[in-house]
Amino acid sequence: MRLYTSKAAAAVLLTLGLTACAREGDIQQAGILTSYTSCPPVAVIAPAGDVTLFDPAGSTDANAIDVVANITNVRATCTGAEVGEHIVTDVTFDVQARRRDNRGARSVTLPYFATVVQANSNVVAKRVRQVTLTFADGSYRTSIAAAAQTRVLRAAATLPEDIRRQITRERRPGAADAAVDPMSDPAVRAAVDRARFEVMLGFELTPDQLRYNATR
């Protein structure tokens, strides 16, 4: 998916524990249907969705792959969508891993992040935590559940009333603007973008790990 820069941090409070939200509202009037939800969608950033550890460190040879882990089974619930100052999203996911050598018990600690993005480009909150995977003696695979929570200020995620009226106003058949998409208006599109938040998950990768994921 994508990585972003920072702005308007006061709009969002991010608290980790790990992520996902799935409520949707449809605005329908006079034959025009617009899907909009104040609950932020949750996704894993593709280049950071898995991590590969090598032994010896620094090698990127296939024969040197030591541990591979990935984020999967992301689930989210959104509360406070109707009442309260904040829209709260609770996210859970699994981290699954496999190792090359199954001899002996072993623990591997990996850093991960949960980021809140506004308007497709502005990182407004980010927290980095760690998850520890434990391999039993003789086992090649292991997994662990993780969780996060995000809080988005409702006022920042709510469409202004004038924009909402413009999107939902009645359009009469035959009128000059009956078939005009409200989103074609730059002001409407910008307002919708400002009210749109997303939650992004991923491993906190080093530059070398990110480069490996991008070029393999």
pLDDT tens per residue across span 57-107: 889 999 999 999 999 999 999 875 556 788 888 999 999 999 999 999 999
Instruction: Convert the pLDDT of each residue in 168-211 to its tens digit.
Output: 777 777 677 667 777 778 888 888 888 889 999 999 999 999 99
Average pLDDT, the chain: 81
- Across the chain, the runs of DSSP E, i.e. the strands, are 5-6, 12-16, 25-29, 32-36, 42-44, 50-54, 65-79, 86-99, 106-118, 122-135, 141-153, 197-203
For the chain, what are the domain ranges?
A: 5-172+179-209
Q: How many CB atoms lie within 10 A of CB 168?
A: 16
pLDDT at 104: 97
pTM to 2 decimals?
0.75
| Rounded to 5°, angle at Cα 188 from 183 and 191 | 125
pLDDT at 25: 42
Percentage, residues of the chain above pLDDT 70? 79
pLDDT at 68: 98
